[in-house]
C-alpha cells in the first residue's frame, strides 16, 4: 500500500494552477499589486528620504505650521504636500502614519492567523472538549460586534497600562483589540475543514502508520485548508487597517505623538472648513489607496481560487 | 426539536452572561466609580461611606450577581453624566438608532439586490466589471470618511440637506419618529446613506455570488431549455432562489449595523445610542457603557438565535449539526 | 421586554416647530448642558444657560456690574448678617408667587453638604425669613464678596421643590433621578418647553416676566453639536442662528460668508500651566519642578507669541499674570509676559543637571480652545531645550482625575474667576495651601505661608481698595515664584446668522439671549 504523504505545497499549486495566468490577465489585480508594493515600500523606507521625522517633537517647528502644498501660493520646499497646524510635514506624516497602519494591520492578521489556525486545527482534530471550549469562546466573541470589542479592549487595556507605557503600548493595544475578534473566523474555517479532512482516507492511513498528530495536522491537513484562509487573511488585512483608522478617528487609537492615518484624519477633520483641506485630504487619500489596493488583491484572489467562478 | 431549541437558548443565555461579565469588568477596571462621582472637597470618610452604599465593598462574585440580577430587570443604575436612569436614557435614544439602521438596511437591499443581479447576469461586461470595482472601493472607504464627504458636498457645497441631528420628531407613545416630518425625513437621508454604503456592497456581492451559482444549476438550464424568457429566468426563478441567504445575512447584520452606527452617529451628531455610548466613553460614564454593551449584544445574540431557530424549522437536517 | 416604558407614556404630538422663523433662535452649542438643575453640577456653562430660566437675587448688567434682580435692595447688619428686600409681584413659571420662603429653601438646598455647588457660596451660614419679602442671610464671618456669589445662585419655588421631593440636592450615589434634573420652574425670561439630553432643549418666552424684555424672541432651540466641523457646517448651511464657540481656525472662512456674522473678544479666562511640587514625579523619579529655576527655564523655553500667532491665529492675548485685566485685583505692573529665550533656558537646565528630565504633560482635548495643539507645541519647544516631555491627552473627565490626584507632572489649567469676578477666587481656590476649604484646585501641592497670609487678610478686608492691594501683592508672589506659568487669555468667538440683529457679548463668554434681537 503506498500513500502519498506529501500533498502539493501551496506555492507549487499556485505555479501549476492558472492563478498566475489569471493574475496577469486581470489588469486591476496587477495595478493593485503594484500600488500596494509602492505604498508599503515607500512607507518603510520613509526614514531614508522623508524631510522630517514627525514622531520627533524636536523636529516640529510651529513657525512652519499650515504651509500649503508646494504647487499653491505660499508652498515651501521641502514640504511637498504642505504642513499641518503643528508644523508637521504632511508627506512625512502620511508615510510614517501608513507605516504604523500597515504594521498594525500585518501584526493583527499574523497573530489572528496563528491563534486561529492553531485553535482551529486542535478543535477539528481532537474534537470533544477542546472543540467545545474553543468554539464557545469564539461564539461569545462573535456575539459582540467587532467594533465594540475593539473599543472596549482599547479602553480597558489602556487604563490598565502604567502611565508611561500608554503611548508605547497604544499600538499593541490596538493589535490585541483587532486580533481578539479576528481569530475566530480563521478558527472556524480551519476547524470545519479539519473535521472533513480528518475523516479522509489519507489521514486515517497516516494515523494507522503512527504518524504523530502534530505532523498530520501541520503537514497534511493544514495545506488543504489554506486557500480560504489566504483569501480571508488578505481581506482582513484591509479590515484591520480600517478598524485601526476608525478607532484612531474616534480618539481611542494611536496618540497624536505617533499619528497613524486615522489620527491624522481626526486631527485634520477639525480644519475641514478653514481652507486647509490638505491636512485632511492627503491622509484620507492615502488610507483609501492602501485599503483599496489590498481589497482589490483579496477580491481577485478569492475569485481566482474559487473553482466555481472560473 | 425541543432539545435543539433549549440548547440554542441556553447557549444564547450563556453568551449573555459572559457579555454581562465583560460589562461588569469595565465597572471594575475603567476607573474607580467613587473617584468619578465625588468632587475634590469630599473627605475620605465620605468616600468610604459612598463606597459602602454603592455596594463596592462586597465580594466580586456578589457584585456580579447583583449586576446581572439588576440588568435582567432592565436596571443598569443611573448615568453619572446625565443623572438619569440609564435604561430611560437608552430608551430615548433607541428609536433614533433603529430608524437609522432600518433605513440603511432598506437602502442596501433596494440598491444592492439589483446591482448584484446585474453584475451576475452581465458578468464580463465593462459596466458590471466597473460596478464590481466600485463595490471594492465601497468596502474600502471608512464610514467616517464617507460621512464627512457627504456633509461637505450636500450640506456645505450645495446646502440641500442638513448636516446634523434628527430634525423635528413626533412622539408615538415612547417611540419617537422623524419619518413624519419633512425636516426629520431630510435629516435621515445622509446618515442612512453613509451607514448603508458598506452594506450595499455586501448585499451586492452576496447576490452576485449566489446568482452565479444558481444560474449554473440544472433547473435554470432546464428552464432556459424550455424556452422561458431570459428576464423571467433571471428575476423570477434565479433570484427567488438566492434571496434566502440575503435575508439571513441582512437579519444577522442588523446587529452589527447597530454597533457600526456609532461612527455614523458621531459624524452626524445623530442622537442615537451610539452617540450616547461615545459620549459615555469620553466621560467614563460606566453604567451607560455597560448597558450599551449588554443591549447591543442582546440584540445581536437574539437575532442570531432567531435566525438559527428559523433555519432549523425550515431545514430539519441542521438541528443536529449545529447544536 | 427590556425597556421600562415609563417615560413619555401616551401619545403626544410634538410641536411642528416654526424652524427658521424670525423669532426662533436656533442655538448650536459646543456642548450640552449637564442638567436642568442649576445646583446639580458646578458647570459654568450649564449655569449660564439656566440663567435664561432661573434668576438670582442679584445679577450682572451689561457692564458686568451687579444690579438688583429678585432682590431690590440690601443692607449689611451687625454680626455678619445681610438683609435682602425681595421684589414683589414676581411669579414662577407655574404661577406661584416668589417669596422669602423660596429664598430660604433655595439657599438651604444649594448649601446642603451633598450639593456640588456649595463651594460657590463659601461664607454662607444660614438664611431666615423676616417677613414675606425680607430675608436675612447670616455669614460665617466678615466676607466682602457675597453679592458676587449670589449672582449665580438661582431661586427655586419652595412649594414646587417640596411637591416633587427635591428639597435636597440630587445625589447621584443614591441612584435616583432628581425631578429638577428634567423639569424647571424658575422666574426667568424663558420657560423650558421640552428637553431631550444631548439632542435638543426648547425654551419659549415667558410673557409674565417681571422685567421689561429687551429681546424679541419667541423660542430658543438649543442643540448641542460637539464636533467643530459639523457645527461650522450647520452655521454655513443656515441650520443654526447662533453659536457661542466658533472655532478660531474657521473664523476667516466664516467672516467671509455673507450670511454669517462673527463676534470676537478676549475672554476673562486665563490659560496657564502648573507643576507638580511633590518630591517625586508620577513615575517615581526625582522632581526638578521643585526648583524655581526649573520652572523659570520652562517659561523661557516657551514662545508665547508664536503660540498666539499660529495656534490661536493671533486671537489670544498673551499675558504675564494669572488674571485678566478686567478682573479686580489685576495689576498691570505684573502683566509682563516672559520673553522667549531658548538658549538661556537650555543653559539653566544644564546647570541644574536636568538634561533629559522626563515628565508627563497632562492635557485634555475638550476643555480649552485648541488645547491639544498648545500642548503638542509645548512638547516640541521643551524637547528642543533638552527636556524629555511626553504628552498625555484625553477627555477632561479622565485627565482631571490625574490632575486632582497629583499624578500630573505638568498640567494645563484655566481659570475665569467666575462667578465671583474677583482675583480672590483664584487665590483662594488655587494658590492658597490646601486645607479644608482653601486650595481645592491646588493640584501641584504648593504652599507659601506668606502668600496664605495675604489671601486670608484679603478675605476679611471690607475696604475694596485695601483688599485689591492685598490681592495684587499675593499675585506678585505667584509671579515671582513662577508657581504657574500664565499663557494667554482665550479669545472667544461667537457667530450668528444674518437673521440675528444684535447679541450682547460680554467678556464672561455667556449667552444672554434675553438681550438678543432678531430681524423681524
Q: Which helix (H) or strand (E) holds C99?
A: none
Shortest Cα distance, chain B CAs vs residue A66, angstroms: 21
Shortest Cα distance, chain B CAs vs residue C234, angstroms: 6
- Tell me how far apart the alpha carbons of residues B265 and B278 are, in angstroms, rounded to a whole number: 9
Q: For residues B232 and B179, which has the higher predicted lDDT (pLDDT)?
A: B179
Residue C352 — pLDDT band, cuts 50, 70, 90?
very high
Mean pLDDT of B84-88: 85
Is the pLDDT assigned to residue C282 strictly greater than 70?
Answer: yes
Is the pLDDT assigned to residue C172 strictly greater than 70?
Answer: no
Mean pLDDT of C198-212: 91
The torsion angles phi and psi of B290, rounded to 5 degrees, stand at: -65, -45
- Tell me how far apart the alpha carbons of residues C180 and C164 are, in angstroms, rounded to a whole number: 8
Write the ipTM: 0.81
- Tell me how far apart the alpha carbons of residues B211 and A296 are, in angstroms, rounded to a whole number: 21
Mean pLDDT of A110-132: 87
Q: For residues B38 and C440, which has the higher predicted lDDT (pLDDT)?
A: C440
Is the pLDDT assigned to residue A307 strictly greater than 60?
Answer: no
Distance of CA C99 to the CA centre of its chain: 29
pLDDT at A143: 72
Chain segment A94-107, per-residue pLDDT in tens: 999 999 999 999 99
SS3 label, residue B222: helix
- Tell me how far apart the alpha carbons of residues B153 and A67 are, in angstroms, rounded to a whole number: 25
The torsion angles phi and psi of C393, rounded to 5 degrees, stand at: -130, 140
Q: Find the closest chain A residue to B212 by CA distance.
A: A309
Instruction: Return the exposure string of A150-160: e unless at least 16 CB atoms fall within 10 Å of the residue's CB, then b.
Output: bbbbbbbbbee
Is the pLDDT assigned to residue C4 strictly greater than 60?
Answer: no
* CA dihedral over A89, A91, A97, A99, signed as positive or negative: negative
Is the pLDDT assigned to residue C81 strictly greater than 90?
Answer: yes
pLDDT at A162: 67
A neighbours by CB contacts (3+ pairs under 8 Å): B, C
- Tell me how far apart the alpha carbons of residues A198 and A202 are, in angstroms, rounded to a whole number: 9
pLDDT at C16: 36
pLDDT at C17: 37
Is the pLDDT assigned to residue B23 strictly greater than 60?
Answer: yes
Instruction: Return the exposure string of A275-305: e unless at least 16 CB atoms fall within 10 Å of the residue's CB, then b.
Output: ebbbbbbbbbebbbbbbbbbbbbbbbbbbbb
Put simply, whether A66 touches C (Cβ < 8 Å) is yes
B142 and A251 in contact by Cβ < 8 A?
no
Interface test with A, best of B27, B139, B294 (most A CBs within 10 A): B139
pLDDT at C198: 80
pLDDT at C175: 61
* CA dihedral over B251, B253, B259, B262, signed as positive or negative: negative
Q: Which residues pair with A165 in a beta bridge?
A: none
DSSP one-letter string for B245-275? HHHHHHHHHHHHHHHHHHHHHHHHT--SHHH
Taking CA atoms, C351 is separated from A283, B112, C354, C360, C484, in Å, by: 43, 70, 8, 22, 22
Task: Say what the pTM is.
Answer: 0.82
Put simply, whether B130 touches A (Cβ < 8 Å) is no
> What residues have CB less than 8 Å from C286, skipping those under 6 apart?
C279, C280
pLDDT at A50: 86
Is the pLDDT assigned to residue C381 strictly greater than 50?
Answer: yes
DSSP one-letter string for B5-45? HHHHHHHHHHHHHHHHHHHHHHHHHSS-HHHHHS-TT--HH
Shortest Cα distance, chain A CAs vs residue C251, angstroms: 8
Q: Find the closest chain A residue to B254 by CA distance.
A: A145
Chain segment B200-213, per-residue pLDDT in tens: 988 998 888 888 88
**Cell numbers describing residue B115:** 446591482
* CA dihedral over B236, B241, B242, B247, signed as positive or negative: positive
Chain segment C211-220, per-residue pLDDT in tens: 999 999 999 9
Query: Chain C residues with CB inside 8 Å of B90's CB?
Result: 3
Weakest-pLDDT range from B71-85, B198-212, B261-275, C318-332:
B71-85
**Chain mean pLDDT for chain A:** 81
Interface test with C, best of A67, A263, A273 (most C CBs within 10 A): A273
A246 and B145 in contact by Cβ < 8 A?
no
Q: What torsion do the CA atoms of A35, A40, A41, A46 make, to the nearest 10 degrees?
A: 120
Beta strands in C87-218 (DSSP E): 124-131, 134-139, 190-196, 200-205
**Chain mean pLDDT for chain C:** 88
Residue listed under C-alpha cell 452617540: B275
Residue C452 — pLDDT band, cuts 50, 70, 90?
very high
pLDDT at C10: 33
SS3 label, residue B88: helix
pLDDT at A22: 67
pLDDT at C14: 35
Long-range contacts of B309-312 (CB under 8 A, 24+ apart): B309/B4, B309/B5, B309/B8, B311/B248, B312/B1, B312/B4, B312/B8
- Tell me how far apart the alpha carbons of residues C235 and C250 are, in angstroms, rounded to a whole number: 11
Q: Looking at the partner chain, which of A58, A87, A163 has a beta carbon nearest the beta carbon of C383?
A: A58
Weakest-pLDDT range from A209-218, C354-363, C455-464:
A209-218
Going by their DSSP bridges, the two strands C484-497 and C219-224 should be labelled as unpaired
Estimate the crossing angle of helix B286-314 against helix B86-121, to 10 degrees: 40
C380 and A65 in contact by Cβ < 8 A?
no
Chain segment C28-38, per-residue pLDDT in tens: 998 888 889 98
- Tell me how far apart the alpha carbons of residues C450 and C469 are, in angstroms, rounded to a whole number: 15
Name which of C49, C291, A147 is nearest B259 in CA terms. Answer: A147
The interface residues of chain B toward chain A in range 9-28, judged by CB-CB distance below 8 A, are 11, 14-15, 18-19, 22, 25-26
- Tell me how far apart the alpha carbons of residues A306 and C147 are, in angstroms, rounded to a whole number: 80
Weakest-pLDDT range from A189-193, C305-309, C483-487:
A189-193
Residue C369 — pLDDT band, cuts 50, 70, 90?
confident
Chain segment A20-45, per-residue pLDDT in tens: 666 666 777 888 899 999 999 999 99
Chain segment C306-345, per-residue pLDDT in tens: 999 988 988 899 999 999 998 999 999 999 999 999 999 9
Put simply, whether A35 touches B (Cβ < 8 Å) is no
The torsion angles phi and psi of A293, rounded to 5 degrees, stand at: -65, -40
Interface test with A, best of B17, B143, B144 (most A CBs within 10 A): B144
SS3 label, residue C8: coil
pLDDT at C3: 38
Residue B103 — pLDDT band, cuts 50, 70, 90?
very high
Going by their DSSP bridges, the two strands C24-29 and B175-177 should be labelled as unpaired
CB burial class (10 A; 0-12, 13-18, 19+) of residue B135? buried
B neighbours by CB contacts (3+ pairs under 8 Å): A, C
Amino acid at each position: 500500500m503506498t500513500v502519498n504523504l506529501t500533498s502539493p505545497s501551496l506555492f507549487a499549486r499556485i505555479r501549476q494552477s492558472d492563478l498566475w495566468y489569471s493574475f496577469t490577465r486581470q489588469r486591476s489585480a496587477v495595478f493593485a499589486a503594484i500600488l500596494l508594493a509602492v505604498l508599503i515600500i515607500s512607507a518603510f523606507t520613509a526614514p531614508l528620504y522623508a524631510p522630517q521625522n514627525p514622531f520627533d517633537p524636536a523636529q516640529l517647528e510651529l513657525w512652519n505650521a499650515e504651509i500649503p502644498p508646494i504647487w499653491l501660493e505660499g508652498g515651501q520646499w521641502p514640504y511637498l504636500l504642505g504642513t499641518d497646524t503643528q508644523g508637521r510635514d504632511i508627506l512625512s506624516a502620511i508615510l510614517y502614519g501608513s507605516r504604523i497602519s500597515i504594521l498594525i494591520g500585518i501584526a493583527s492578521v499574523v497573530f489572528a492567523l496563528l491563534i486561529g489556525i492553531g485553535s482551529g486545527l486542535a478543535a477539528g482534530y481532537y474534537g470533544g472538549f477542546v472543540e467545545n471550549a474553543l468554539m464557545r469562546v469564539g461564539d461569545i466573541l462573535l456575539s459582540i460586534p467587532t467594533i465594540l470589542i475593539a473599543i472596549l479592549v482599547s479602553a480597558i487595556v489602556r487604563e490598565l497600562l502604567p502611565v508611561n507605557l500608554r503611548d508605547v503600548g497604544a499600538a499593541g493595544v490596538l493589535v490585541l483589540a483587532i486580533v481578539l475578534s479576528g481569530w475566530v473566523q480563521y478558527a472556524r474555517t480551519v476547524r470545519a475543514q479539519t473535521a472533513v479532512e480528518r475523516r479522509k482516507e489519507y489521514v486515517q492511513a497516516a494515523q494507522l502508520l503512527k504518524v504523530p498528530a502534530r505532523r498530520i495536522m501541520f503537514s497534511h491537513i493544514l495545506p488543504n485548508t489554506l486557500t480560504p484562509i489566504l483569501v480571508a487573511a488578505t481581506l482582513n488585512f484591509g479590515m484591520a487597517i480600517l478598524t485601526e483608522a476608525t478607532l484612531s478617528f474616534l480618539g481611542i487609537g494611536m496618540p497624536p505623538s505617533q499619528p497613524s492615518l486615522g489620527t491624522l484624519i481626526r486631527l485634520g477633520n477639525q480644519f475641514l472648513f478653514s481652507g486647509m483641506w490638505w491636512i485632511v485630504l492627503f491622509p484620507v487619500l492615502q488610507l483609501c489607496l492602501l485599503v483599496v489596493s489590498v481589497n482589490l488583491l483579496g477580491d481577485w484572489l478569492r475569485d481566482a481560487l474559487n473553482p466555481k467562478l472560473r | 426539536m425541543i432539545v435543539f431549541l433549549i440548547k440554542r437558548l441556553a447557549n444564547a443565555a450563556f453568551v449573555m452572561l459572559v457579555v454581562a461579565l465583560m460589562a461588569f469588568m469595565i465597572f471594575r477596571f475603567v476607573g474607580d466609580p467613587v473617584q468619578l462621582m465625588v468632587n475634590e472637597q469630599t473627605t475620605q470618610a465620605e468616600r468610604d461611606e459612598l463606597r459602602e452604599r454603592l455596594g463596592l465593598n462586597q465580594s466580586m462574585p456578589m457584585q456580579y450577581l447583583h449586576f446581572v440580577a439588576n440588568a435582567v430587570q432592565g436596571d443598569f443604575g443611573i448615568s453619572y453624566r446625565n443623572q438619569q436612569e440609564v435604561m430611560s436614557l437608552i430608551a430615548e435614544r433607541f428609536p433614533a438608532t433603529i430608524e437609522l439602521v432600518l433605513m440603511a438596511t432598506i437602502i442596501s437591499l433596494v440598491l444592492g439586490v439589483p446591482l448584484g443581479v446585474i453584475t451576475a447576469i452581465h458578468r464580463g461586461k465593462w459596466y458590471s466589471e466597473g460596478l464590481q470595482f466600485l463595490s471594492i472601493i465601497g468596502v474600502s472607504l471608512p464610514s467616517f470618511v464617507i460621512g464627512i464627504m457627504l456633509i461637505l458636498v450636500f450640506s456645505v457645497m450645495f446646502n440641500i440637506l442638513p448636516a446634523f441631528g434628527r430634525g423635528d420628531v413626533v412622539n408615538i407613545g415612547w417611540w419617537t419618529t422623524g419619518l413624519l416630518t419633512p425636516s426629520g425625513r431630510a435629516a435621515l437621508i445622509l446618515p442612512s446613506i453613509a451607514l448603508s454604503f458598506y452594506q450595499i456592497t455586501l448585499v451586492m456581492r452576496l447576490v452576485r455570488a449566489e446568482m452565479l451559482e444558481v444560474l449554473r444549476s440544472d433547473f435554470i438550464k432546464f428552464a432556459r431549455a424550455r424556452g422561458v424568457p431570459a428576464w423571467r429566468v433571471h428575476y423570477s426563478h434565479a433570484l427567488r432562489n438566492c434571496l434566502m441567504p440575503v435575508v439571513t445575512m441582512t437579519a444577522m447584520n442588523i446587529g452589527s449595523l447597530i454597533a457600526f452606527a456609532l461612527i455614523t452617529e458621531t459624524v452626524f451628531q445623530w442622537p442615537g445610542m451610539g452617540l450616547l455610548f461615545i459620549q459615555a466613553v469620553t466621560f467614563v460614564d460606566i453604567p451607560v457603557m455597560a448597558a450599551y454593551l449588554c443591549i447591543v449584544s442582546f440584540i445581536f445574540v437574539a437575532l442570531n438565535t432567531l435566525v438559527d431557530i428559523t433555519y432549523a424549522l425550515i431545514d430539519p437536517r441542521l438541528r443536529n449539526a449545529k447544536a | 421586554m427590556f425597556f421600562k416604558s415609563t417615560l413619555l407614556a401616551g401619545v403626544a404630538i410634538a410641536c411642528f416647530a416654526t424652524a427658521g422663523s424670525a423669532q426662533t433662535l436656533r442655538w448650536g452649542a459646543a456642548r450640552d448642558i449637564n442638567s436642568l438643575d442649576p445646583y446639580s453640577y458646578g458647570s459654568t456653562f450649564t449655569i449660564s444657560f439656566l440663567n435664561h430660566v432661573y434668576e438670582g437675587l442679584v445679577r450682572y448688567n451689561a457692564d458686568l456690574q451687579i444690579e438688583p434682580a429678585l432682590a431690590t435692595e440690601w443692607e449689611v447688619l451687625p454680626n455678619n448678617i445681610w438683609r435682602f428686600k425681595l421684589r414683589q409681584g414676581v411669579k414662577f413659571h407655574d404661577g406661584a408667587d416668589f417669596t422669602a420662603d423660596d429664598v430660604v429653601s433655595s439657599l438651604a438646598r444649594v448649601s446642603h453638604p451633598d450639593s456640588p455647588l456649595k463651594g460657590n457660596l463659601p461664607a454662607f451660614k444660614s438664611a431666615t425669613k423676616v417677613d414675606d419679602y425680607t430675608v436675612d442671610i447670616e455669614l460665617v464671618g466678615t466676607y466682602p464678596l457675597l453679592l458676587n456669589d449670589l449672582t449665580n445662585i438661582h431661586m427655586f419655588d419652595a412649594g414646587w421643590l417640596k411637591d416633587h421631593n427635591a428639597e435636597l440636592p440630587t445625589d447621584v450615589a443614591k441612584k435616583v433621578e432628581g425631578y429638577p434634573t428634567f423639569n424647571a420652574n424658575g422666574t426667568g425670561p424663558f420657560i423650558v418647553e421640552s428637553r431631550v439630553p444631548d439632542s435638543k432643549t426648547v425654551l419659549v418666552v415667558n410673557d409674565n416676566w417681571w422685567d421689561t424684555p429687551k429681546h424679541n424672541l419667541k423660542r430658543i432651540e438649543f442643540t448641542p453639536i460637539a464636533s467643530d466641523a459639523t457645527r461650522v457646517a450647520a452655521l454655513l448651511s443656515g441650520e443654526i442662528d447662533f453659536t457661542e464657540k466658533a472655532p478660531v481656525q474657521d473664523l476667516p472662512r466664516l467672516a467671509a460668508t455673507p450670511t454669517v456674522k462673527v463676534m470676537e473678544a478676549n475672554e476673562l479666562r486665563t490659560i496657564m500651566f502648573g507643576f507638580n511640587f511633590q518630591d517625586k514625579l508620577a513615575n517615581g523619579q526625582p522632581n526638578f519642578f521643585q526648583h524655581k529655576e526649573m520652572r523659570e527655564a520652562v517659561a523661557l523655553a516657551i514662545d508665547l507669541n508664536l503660540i498666539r500667532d499660529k495656534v490661536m491665529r493671533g486671537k489670544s492675548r498673551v499675558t504675564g499674570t494669572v488674571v485678566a485685566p478686567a478682573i479686580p485685583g489685576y495689576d498691570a505692573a505684573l502683566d509682563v509676559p516672559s520673553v522667549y529665550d531658548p538658549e538661556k533656558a537650555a543653559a539653566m537646565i544644564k546647570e541644574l543637571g536636568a538634561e533629559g528630565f522626563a515628565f508627563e504633560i497632562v492635557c485634555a482635548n475638550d476643555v480649552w480652545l485648541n488645547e491639544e495643539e498648545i500642548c503638542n507645541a509645548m512638547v516640541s519647544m521643551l524637547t528642543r531645550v533638552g527636556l524629555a516631555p511626553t504628552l498625555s491627552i484625553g477627555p477632561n473627565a479622565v485627565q482631571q482625575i490625574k490632575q486632582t490626584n497629583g499624578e500630573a507632572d505638568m498640567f494645563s489649567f484655566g481659570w475665569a474667576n467666575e462667578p465671583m469676578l474677583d482675583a480672590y477666587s483664584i487665590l483662594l481656590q488655587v494658590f492658597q495651601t490646601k486645607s479644608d476649604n482653601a486650595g481645592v484646585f491646588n493640584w501641584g501641592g504648593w504652599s507659601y505661608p506668606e502668600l496664605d497670609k495675604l489671601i486670608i487678610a484679603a478675605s476679611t478686608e471690607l475696604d475694596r481698595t485695601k483688599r485689591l492691594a492685598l490681592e495684587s501683592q499675593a499675585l506678585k508672589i505667584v509671579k515671582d515664584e513662577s508657581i504657574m506659568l500664565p499663557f494667554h487669555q482665550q479669545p472667544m468667538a461667537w457667530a450668528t446668522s444674518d437673521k440675528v440683529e444684535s447679541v450682547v457679548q460680554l467678556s464672561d463668554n455667556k449667552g444672554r439671549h434675553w438681550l438678543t434681537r432678531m430681524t423681524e
